[in-house]
């Protein structure tokens, strides 16, 4: 890190994940960058996506399915990495100019 970058960094207070969420904006594209195949998810015994998603966008349903909301996704790819069911999650970056925008407060 350069000296000027180090000096600027010293003035930034540490931010928790919860603080970062509060300064986040989402420029949502009409086409989802993540899709979840609920029929594949129904057979998953571990449901790691529910626990792993930092934004808590995966919600189990009473009938064994999964509800998912891509509009507030942080685009970290954690759900895709932890999913052990091939074809359950399709993930790509959003269209250019769309997606999550982090802002320092």
Per-residue confidence (pLDDT) for residue 56, from 0 to 100:
92
pLDDT computed for residue 6 by the predictor: 61
Q: What is the pLDDT of residue 43?
A: 83
pLDDT at 72: 86
pTM of this prediction exceeds 0.85 = no
Q: What is the CATH number of the domain that holds 84?
A: 3.30.70.20
DSSP-derived letter for residue 43 is T
pLDDT per residue over 49-87, tens digit each?
999 999 899 999 998 889 998 888 888 899 999 998 999
Instruction: Determine the structural domain holding residue 66 and report its residue range.
Output: 31-105
CB atoms within 10 A of CB 24: 14
What are the backbone angles phi and psi of residue 79, rounded to the nearest 5°?
A: -60, -45
Number of domain units in the chain: 1
């Amino acid at each position: 890190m350069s000296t000027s970058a180090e000096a600027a960094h010293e003035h930034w207070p540490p931010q928790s994940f919860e603080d970062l969420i509060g300064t986040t904006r989402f420029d949502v594209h009409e086409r989802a960058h993540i899709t979840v195949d609920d029929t594949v998810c129904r057979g998953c015994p571990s449901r790691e996506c529910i626990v792993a998603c930092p934004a808590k966008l995966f919600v189990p349903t009473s009938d064994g399915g999964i509800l998912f909301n891509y509009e507030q996704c942080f685009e970290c790819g954690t759900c895709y990495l932890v999913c052990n069911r091939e074809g359950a999650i399709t993930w790509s970056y959003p269209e250019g100019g769309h997606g999550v925008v982090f802002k320092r407060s």
